[in-house]
């Protein structure tokens, strides 16, 4: 699949069905059926018990901003998108993801509550987005 950026920068390739869930705007993680650990971004094998019995779970669309940084010198495949601000968010109920800020860096502070969503980018790409309520 090539939906998540021109370069596969998110470890989603093993996760069957994630693309469809992203298109529906769902923040999806996976839960290990054995130990109940939730992974966001989703993964199909549990690093804790090395089990592959995983199921999709809908995660919250809100969380706490852990940190952020603005990228001016973008990696290959993202040159046309720079500058952009990436945010690390602890999602309520479990999981941690990186999303692109939808808004101004002046409006965000570490520790504040933010919303996460799915945003379409040019060239049929999708990315997690982060915005202030
Ligand atoms: Zn497990």
User: Tokens standing for 98?
Assistant: 């990186």
Residue 13 is predicted with a pLDDT of 53
Residue 21 is predicted with a pLDDT of 84
Rounded CA separation 15/3 (Å):
13
- State the distance from the centre of ligand 1 to the C-alpha of 80, rounded, in angstroms: 39
- State the distance from the centre of ligand 1 to the C-alpha of 124, rounded, in angstroms: 34
User: What domains can be seen in the chain, in order of their start residue?
Assistant: 18-131 (2.40.50)
- State the distance from the centre of ligand 1 to the C-alpha of 49, rounded, in angstroms: 4
pTM score over 0.95? no
- State the distance from the centre of ligand 1 to the C-alpha of 5, rounded, in angstroms: 29
Residue 8 is predicted with a pLDDT of 46
**How many other β-carbons are positioned within 10 Å of the β-carbon of residue 80?**
10
The terminus-to-terminus CA distance of the chain in angstroms comes to 31
Residues of the chain with pLDDT under 50: 1-3, 5-9, 11-12
Residue 2 is predicted with a pLDDT of 43
Is residue 101 helix, strand or coil? strand
């Amino acid at each position: 699949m090539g939906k998540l950026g021109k370069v596969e920068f998110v470890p989603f390739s093993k996760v069957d069905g994630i693309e469809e869930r992203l298109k529906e705007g769902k923040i999806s993680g996976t839960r290990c059926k054995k130990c109940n650990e939730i992974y966001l971004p989703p993964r199909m094998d549990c690093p804790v018990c090395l089990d592959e019995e995983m199921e999709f779970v809908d995660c919250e669309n809100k969380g706490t901003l852990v940190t952020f940084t603005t990228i001016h010198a973008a990696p290959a495949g993202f040159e046309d998108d720079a500058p952009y601000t990436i945010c690390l968010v602890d999602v309520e109920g479990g999981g941690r993801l990186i999303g692109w800020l939808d808004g101004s860096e002046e409006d965000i502070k570490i520790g504040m509550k933010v919303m996460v969503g799915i945003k379409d980018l040019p060239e049929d790409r999708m990315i997690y987005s982060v915005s202030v309520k």
